[in-house]
Amino acid sequence: MDEYISRLNANDNYWKLGNVDTGNPAFSLAGQVIQGTGTDSTAARYRYRLLSSAADITSQGVIRLQVVGMSGPAGNTGTVNRTITAELRRKGLLNFVYLSDVEATDPDISGVSSSCGRYYYAVGSTPGRPSGCGNLIQWNTGDVVNGPFHSNDALLINGSVNYTSPQTETSWPGAEGLAATAKTWVGNQAPPLAGNSPAYAASISLPTSNNDLLKNVEPDVDGDGEVGPGCYYTGATRIVLQGTTMKVLSPSTTSSDTPSRCYNVGTPNTEQTVAIPPVIYVDSSTSTCTLGAIGYPASGESYTTGSSTAIAWGTTSNPVTNYACTRGTAYVSGTAATPVTLAGSDDVVITADLKPDSTSGVNVIGLIAGGFVWMYHPVKSNGTNLNSTPVSNIQAAILALRHSFLIENKSSGAALGTLNVYGAIAQKYRGAVGSVSGNTVTNGYLKNYVYDTRLQYTQPPYFLKASNSPFSLSKIIDG
Question: What are the pLDDT digits (tens) for 118-127?
Answer: 999 999 999 9
Q: Is 19 exposed, middle or buried (0-12, 13-18, 19+ CB in 10 A)?
A: exposed
Mean pLDDT of 444-466: 91
Last residue of a domain, one of 61, 90, 119: 90
Residues 235, 376, 408, 207, Cα dihedral to 10°: -60
Please give the pLDDT value at position 244: 98
User: pLDDT-derived band of residue 409, with 50, 70 and 90 as boundaries?
Assistant: very high
Is residue 108 included in any domain, yes or no? Answer: no
Q: Is 432 exposed, middle or buried (0-12, 13-18, 19+ CB in 10 A)?
A: buried
Q: Which residues of 219-248 are buried (b: 16+ CB within 10 A; e: fewer)?
A: eebbeeeebbebbbbbbbbbbbbeeebbeb
Last residue of a domain, one of 31, 62, 90: 90
Mean pLDDT of 15-19: 93
Is residue 291 included in any domain, yes or no? Answer: yes
Is residue 185 included in any domain, yes or no? Answer: no
Quote the CA–CA distance of 258 and 159 in Å, as a whole number: 53
Radius of gyration of the chain (CA): 25
Mean pLDDT of 156-172: 94
- With a cut of 90, say whether residue 338 has pLDDT above it: yes
**Cβ neighbours, 10 Å, residue 6:** 13
Mean pLDDT of 218-225: 95
Which amino acid type is present at position 422?
Y
Please give the pLDDT value at position 77: 82
Please give the pLDDT value at position 117: 96
- With a cut of 80, say whether residue 309 has pLDDT above it: yes
Quote the CA–CA distance of 30 and 369 in Å, as a whole number: 48
Overall domain count for the chain:
2
Please give the pLDDT value at position 74: 85
Please give the pLDDT value at position 58: 84
**Cβ neighbours, 10 Å, residue 149:** 25
- With a cut of 80, say whether residue 242 has pLDDT above it: yes
Quote the CA–CA distance of 71 and 324 in Å, as a whole number: 66
Q: Is 87 exposed, middle or buried (0-12, 13-18, 19+ CB in 10 A)?
A: middle
Residues 82 and 216 occupy one common structural domain: no
- With a cut of 90, say whether residue 346 has pLDDT above it: yes
Is residue 129 included in any domain, yes or no? Answer: no
Mean pLDDT of 375-389: 94
Quote the CA–CA distance of 230 and 342 in Å, as a whole number: 10
- What residues pair up with 238 in beta bridges, in sequence order? 249, 331
Quote the CA–CA distance of 230 and 374 in Å, as a whole number: 23
| % of residues, the chain, pLDDT over 70 | 100
pTM flag (> 0.85): yes
User: pLDDT-derived band of residue 59, with 50, 70 and 90 as boundaries?
Assistant: confident
Is residue 299 included in any domain, yes or no? Answer: yes
Is residue 384 included in any domain, yes or no? Answer: yes
**Cβ neighbours, 10 Å, residue 95:** 23
- With a cut of 90, say whether residue 406 has pLDDT above it: yes
Residues 115, 119, 120, 123, Cα dihedral to 10°: -100
Please give the pLDDT value at position 238: 98
Please give the pLDDT value at position 205: 93
Last residue of a domain, one of 38, 69, 90: 90
**Cβ neighbours, 10 Å, residue 54:** 13
Mean pLDDT of 99-120: 95
Quote the CA–CA distance of 100 and 406 in Å, as a whole number: 13
Mean pLDDT of 74-100: 89
- With a cut of 90, say whether residue 413 has pLDDT above it: yes
User: Which residues form the domain of 29?
Assistant: 2-90
The predicted-structure confidence for 312-336, as pLDDT tens digits, reads as follows 998 888 899 999 999 999 999 999 9
Nearest to 284 by CA among 266, 263, 260, 308: 308
Average pLDDT, the chain: 94
Quote the CA–CA distance of 374 and 16 in Å, as a whole number: 36
Give Dmax (Cα) for the chain. Answer: 86
Is residue 282 included in any domain, yes or no? Answer: yes
- With a cut of 80, say whether residue 386 has pLDDT above it: yes
Quote the CA–CA distance of 470 and 95 in Å, as a whole number: 13
Please give the pLDDT value at position 280: 98
- With a cut of 80, say whether residue 467 has pLDDT above it: no
Is residue 222 included in any domain, yes or no? Answer: yes
Quote the CA–CA distance of 174 and 182 in Å, as a whole number: 11
Quote the CA–CA distance of 368 and 353 in Å, as a whole number: 17
**Cβ neighbours, 10 Å, residue 261:** 12
Residues 247 and 385 occupy one common structural domain: yes
Nearest to 428 by CA among 210, 237, 176: 210
Contact between 450 and 147 (Cβ < 8 Å): yes
Mean pLDDT of 249-259: 98
- With a cut of 80, say whether residue 40 has pLDDT above it: no
Quote the CA–CA distance of 452 and 356 in Å, as a whole number: 12
